[in-house]
């Protein structure tokens, strides 16, 4: 019964619903690469060390970029936060298409660094918008719903990534990832400004 109440609260909060739907698309998209990343690294000439180093480059770039993006978000007007989120998710979509051009470990490093930067341009914007629209009397529940959606959609993305690579190869998964990111950005852009 409590779970129905939690979900009905999200249904009536149009801003959180829009953020959860669009973020779920991004998480499914990015989750698609998780189960097949090491195979892709191997395909472009690398091994376990290359997989670790390129994943580390993504993580390090994301960490630095998140700090810079967070400072930037605090300095812009609240109405521009939504634009930053949309632009960030469009950037993710375009960056994911760059994987189609990766045929060496060096190229993979470059794309991973670009993705690390672009991915975290939108993260503080999403978090700021989500926090701004929380119901202060049930913030814990609403964060719990976001956390649940995070794990659920990442898992769905991993399953879909494995299926798509198996059926259509790596290019198929990169295109699917990109399309989902574009849909997420379009969803945010089409959400009325009085809602988000």
Residue with tokens 């801003």: 15
Please answer whether residues 15 and 144 qualify as being in contact, where contact means their C-beta atoms are separated by less than 8 angstroms: no
Segment 14-34 shows an average pLDDT of 94
Parse the chain into domains and list their residue ranges: 19-190
pLDDT of residue 48: 96
Q: How confident is the model at residue 9 (pLDDT cuts 50, 70, 90)?
A: low
How distant is the alpha carbon of residue 183 from its chain centre?
12
Please answer whether residues 76 and 84 qualify as being in contact, where contact means their C-beta atoms are separated by less than 8 angstroms: yes
Distances (CA, A) of 43 to 68, 94, 177: 34, 22, 19
Give the tens place of pLDDT for each residue, 72-100: 998 888 789 999 999 999 999 999 999 99
Does residue 186 register a pLDDT over 80? yes
pLDDT of residue 6: 53
Closest to 97 (Cα-Cα) out of 161, 29, 159: 29
- At the topology level of CATH, where does 19-190 sit? Growth Hormone; Chain: A; (1.20.1250)
Q: How confident is the model at residue 14 (pLDDT cuts 50, 70, 90)?
A: confident
């Amino acid at each position: 019964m409590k779970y129905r109440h939690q979900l009905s609260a999200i249904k009536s909060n149009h801003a959180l619903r829009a953020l959860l739907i669009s973020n779920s698309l991004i998480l499914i998209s990015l989750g698609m690469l998780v189960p097949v990343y090491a195979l892709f690294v191997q395909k472009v000439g690398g091994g376990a060390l290359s997989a670790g180093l390129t994943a580390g480059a993504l993580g390090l770039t994301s960490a630095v970029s998140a700090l810079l993006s967070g400072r930037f978000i605090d300095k812009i007007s609240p109405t521009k936060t939504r634009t930053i989120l949309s632009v960030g998710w469009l950037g993710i979509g375009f960056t994911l298409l760059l994987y189609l051009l990766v045929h060496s470990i060096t190229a993979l490093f470059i794309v991973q660094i670009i993705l690390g930067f672009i991915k975290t341009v939108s993260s503080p914007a999403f978090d700021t918008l989500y926090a701004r629209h929380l119901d202060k009397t049930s913030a814990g529940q609403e964060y719990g719903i976001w956390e649940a959606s995070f794990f659920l959609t990442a898992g769905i993305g991993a399953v879909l990534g494995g299926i798509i690579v198996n059926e259509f190869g790596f290019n198929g998964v990169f295109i699917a990832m990109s399309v989902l990111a574009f849909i997420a950005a379009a969803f945010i852009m089409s959400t009325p400004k009085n809602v988000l």
